[in-house]
C-alpha cells in the first residue's frame, strides 16, 4: 500500500488498519497487555475455543462505556469474522475524568491462534476511543459519519447501481502500484455484488507520484466528455501502462494512448486537463480524502467503513462487504 506523510495521520482509517481487520498476531503486536491470569489466556488450546478468565466485577469501575456498548461496537467491527470471539474483561476508571480504560480478551473458535489481550481508552463523548496513538470512531454506528460524507461528496465515476444503499468507494492513485493490483478485486466485487454502486474516487498522492494529478485531471475530462464507461476504459488502460507514468514524456504518451483507447481526441482532453476547472476537480477529490483522514491508497469505503485493500485478501474483503451490507439492511 502507498501511504502519505505522517501529517495525514488517520483516526478513521486506523480504526480498520489497527483494530478491525488484522489477524490476531498483528493485533497483539499493536496493543497487548499482560492478563491477570496469563496461563489461562496464553496457553495453546488446539481444536477448542479458548477459555477466558471469568471477569472480576471489581474491574468494572467506570460508568461508561457499558459492557453492552463495547460488545455492540466490537460486533459491528468484527462480526464479519465468525471465527473471532472476545470477552470484555474490564472497564476501569482512570485519573482523567471521563476517560475509561477498556480491556478485552480476543481469540478464535478453533483455538489455533494464541489468544491475546488488547486495551483501548474510551472518551467521555461516547463517540471516540484511543487505540495506541490513534483516535478512532466508537459506538453502535461508527461508520455513519463517513457514510453520510461520502453519499454527499463522492462524485467520482461509478458503475453499478444508481442508488447508494450499498456504496463501495475506491480511493485510488493511477501511479500507485498497489492500486493497479487492486483492480481485479474491484472487478470481483462488481460481479459478486451486482446491486452495489462502485465509485472510483481519484486520490492522487502528488507528493510521491508526480504524474498522478495529471492522470486524475485527464480522467475527469474523459468522464465529463464521454461518461463513466469511457472513464473506466481509460482507467484500465492507464493502469495497464502504469510504468509509463514514471517520466514526464512517458506520462504524456501513456495518458494520450489511454484517451485514444477510450475513443476520444487526446489533444482535446489534454487541453481540458490543463484548465482551472479540471485542476479544481482534482483538488476537490484530494480534499475529500483528506477530510476523511485517508492516508494511503488503495482504500475502499464500504458504506463508510474504511478497509485498506493492500492488506486484505479477497475472501476477507468479500466477507466484510457482505457483513456491512447486512448490517445496513441492504438486500443482496
DSSP 229-284: HHHHHHHHHHHHTGGGGGSHHHHHHHHHHHHHHTTS-HHHHHHHHTSHHHHHHHHH
Q: Are residue 273 and residue 191 in the same domain, yes or no?
A: yes
Q: Are residue 89 and residue 160 in the same domain, yes or no?
A: no
Q: Is residue 3 part of a domain?
A: no
According to the model, what pLDDT value does residue 310 have? 86
Q: Are residue 192 and residue 290 in the same domain, yes or no?
A: yes
Q: Is residue 316 part of a domain?
A: yes
Q: Are residue 35 and residue 163 in the same domain, yes or no?
A: no
Q: Is residue 1 part of a domain?
A: no
Q: Which domain holds residue 93?
A: 9-140
The tally of domains found in the chain comes to: 2
Q: Does the bond joining 65 to the residue before it have cis omega, within 30 degrees of 0?
A: yes
Q: Which one, of 165, 197, 201, lies nearest residue 325 by Cα?
A: 165
Q: Are residue 177 and residue 210 in the same domain, yes or no?
A: yes
Q: Are residue 105 and residue 218 in the same domain, yes or no?
A: no
Q: Are residue 127 and residue 218 in the same domain, yes or no?
A: no
pLDDT tens digit sequence for 72-129: 999 999 999 999 999 999 999 999 999 999 999 999 998 888 889 999 999 999 999 9
Q: In whole angstroms, what is the distance from residue 257 CA to residue 300 CA? A: 28
One-character DSSP codes across 169-202: EEEE-TT-HHHHHHHHHHHHHHHH-TT-EEEEEE
The reported pTM is 0.85
According to the model, what pLDDT value does residue 5 have? 35
CA distances from 55 to 51, 64, 90, 132, 262 (A): 12, 17, 7, 23, 62
Q: Exposed, middle or buried by CB within 10 Å (0-12, 13-18, 19+), for 228?
A: middle
Q: Are residue 155 and residue 64 in the same domain, yes or no?
A: no
pLDDT tens for the chain, 332 residues long, are: 655 433 333 333 334 344 443 333 333 333 333 333 333 445 454 568 899 999 999 999 999 999 999 999 999 999 999 999 999 999 999 999 999 999 999 999 988 888 899 999 999 999 999 999 888 999 989 999 999 999 999 999 999 999 999 999 999 999 999 999 999 999 999 999 999 999 999 999 999 999 999 999 999 999 999 999 999 999 999 999 999 999 999 999 999 999 999 999 999 999 999 999 999 999 999 999 999 999 999 999 999 999 999 889 999 999 999 999 999 999 87
Q: Are residue 86 and residue 203 in the same domain, yes or no?
A: no
| Residues facing 122 on adjacent strands | 100, 129
Q: Are residue 168 and residue 302 in the same domain, yes or no?
A: yes
Q: Is residue 57 part of a domain?
A: yes
Q: Are residue 200 and residue 90 in the same domain, yes or no?
A: no
Sequence-distant (6+) residues with CB within 8 A of 58 are none
Specify the CATH number for the domain of residue 302.
3.40.30.10
CA angle 212/243/187 to nearest 5° reads: 75
Q: Domain boundary residue among 140, 172, 188? A: 140
Q: Is residue 267 part of a domain?
A: yes
Q: Are residue 200 and residue 267 in the same domain, yes or no?
A: yes
Q: Domain boundary residue among 85, 111, 140? A: 140
Amino acid at each position: 500500500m502507498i501511504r502519505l506523510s505522517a501529517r495525514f495521520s488517520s483516526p478513521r482509517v486506523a480504526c480498520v488498519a489497527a483494530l478491525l481487520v488484522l489477524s490476531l498476531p498483528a493485533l497483539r503486536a499493536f496493543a497487548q497487555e499482560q492478563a491477570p491470569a496469563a496461563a489461562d489466556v496464553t496457553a495453546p488450546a488446539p481444536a477448542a475455543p479458548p477459555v477466558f478468565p471469568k471477569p472480576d466485577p471489581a474491574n468494572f469501575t467506570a460508568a461508561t462505556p457499558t459492557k453492552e456498548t463495547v460488545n455492540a461496537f466490537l460486533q459491528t467491527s468484527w462480526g464479519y469474522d465468525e471465527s473471532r470471539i472476545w470477552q470484555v474483561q474490564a472497564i476501569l476508571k482512570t485519573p482523567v475524568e471521563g476517560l475509561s480504560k477498556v480491556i478485552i480478551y480476543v481469540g478464535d473458535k478453533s483455538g489455533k491462534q494464541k489468544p491475546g489481550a488488547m486495551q483501548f481508552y474510551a472518551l467521555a463523548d461516547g463517540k471516540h476511543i484511543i487505540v495506541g496513538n490513534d483516535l478512532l470512531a466508537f459506538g453502535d454506528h461508527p461508520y455513519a459519519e463517513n457514510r453520510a460524507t461520502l453519499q454527499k461528496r463522492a462524485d467520482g465515476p461509478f458503475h453499478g447501481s444508481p442508488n447508494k444503499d450499498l456504496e463501495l468507494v475506491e480511493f485510488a492513485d493511477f501511479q500507485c502500484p498497489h492500486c493497479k493490483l487492486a483492480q481485479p478485486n474491484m472487478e470481483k466485487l462488481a460481479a459478486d455484488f451486482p446491486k452495489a454502486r462502485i465509485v472510483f474516487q481519484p486520490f492522487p498522492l502528488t507528493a510521491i507520484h508526480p504524474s498522478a494529478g495529471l492522470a486524475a485531471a485527464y480522467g475527469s475530462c474523459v468522464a465529463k466528455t464521454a461518461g463513466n464507461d469511457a472513464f473506466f476504459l481509460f482507467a484500465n488502460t492507464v493502469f495497464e501502462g502504469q510504468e509509463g507514468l514514471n517520466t514526464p514524456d512517458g506520462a504524456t504518451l501513456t495518458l494520450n494512448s489511454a484517451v485514444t483507447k477510450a475513443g476520444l481526441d487526446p489533444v482535446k482532453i489534454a487541453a481540458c486537463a490543463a484548465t482551472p476547472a479540471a485542476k479544481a476537480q482534482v483538488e476537490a477529490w484530494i480534499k475529500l480524502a483528506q477530510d476523511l483522514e485517508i492516508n494511503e491508497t488503495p482504500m475502499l469505503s464500504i458504506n463508510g467503513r474504511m478497509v485498506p485493500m493492500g492488506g486484505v485478501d479477497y475472501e476477507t474483503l468479500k466477507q466484510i462487504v457482505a457483513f456491512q451490507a447486512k448490517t445496513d439492511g441492504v438486500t443482496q
